[in-house]
Amino acid sequence: MHRIFGTPFAAVYPLYLAKVERKGRTKAELDAVVEWLTGFDDAALARQIESEATFEQFFAAAELNPAVTRITGVVCGVRVEEIEDPLMRRIRYLDKLVDELARGKALDKVLRV
């Protein structure tokens, strides 16, 4: 089991937020990305953060967007579509979306609309 699986999502969320805000993006845009991927609404996302759910618990409660297969590319030197472990793939999908947002990609492109 990878260490990140037991890490609380609430511990990483501020890092995601700092990353996108440094690049001129907003918390609302970050939340839109997380909610698009997971199916959470604002209240459900807040509950996940407040409860300090681990990444394993966070993604167990999520209903992934059916368009998730459109997320392709490299994160941390690994192609996300080639990651075999389903939980790690979901975490890397989130990393990829946050990276795209931080790089200035239009929100509708990040969300594969």
CATH number at residue 39: 1.10.8.290
pTM to 2 decimal places:
0.95
Q: What is the percent of the chain where pLDDT is above 70?
A: 100
How many separate domains does the chain show? Answer: 1
Residue 111 is assigned to a structural domain of this protein: no
95, part of any domain: yes
Q: How many CB atoms lie within 10 A of CB 66?
A: 8
Domain that holds residue 81: 3-106
pLDDT for the residue numbered 84: 95
Average pLDDT over residues 16-22: 98
Q: How would you class 69 by CB atoms within 10 Å of its CB: exposed for 0-12, middle for 13-18, buried for 19 or more? A: exposed
Taking alpha carbons only, the member of 30, 13, 34 closest to residue 101 is 30
pLDDT of residue 1: 74
Instruction: Classify residue 113: in a domain, yes or no.
Output: no
pLDDT at 76: 87
Q: Is the pLDDT of residue 17 over 80?
A: yes
In a domain, 112, yes or no: no
Q: For 72-93, what is the mean pLDDT? A: 95
Q: Does the residue 76 lie in any domain?
A: yes
Cβ atoms of residues 109 and 38 within 8 Å: no
* Residue 79, token pair as written in the block: 């192609």
Mean pLDDT of the chain: 96
- Residue 8 located in a structural domain: yes
Provide CB contacts within 8 A for 21, sequence distance 6+. 27
Residues 38-69: pLDDT tens digits? 999 999 999 999 999 999 999 999 999 999 99
User: Is 50 among the domain residues?
Assistant: yes
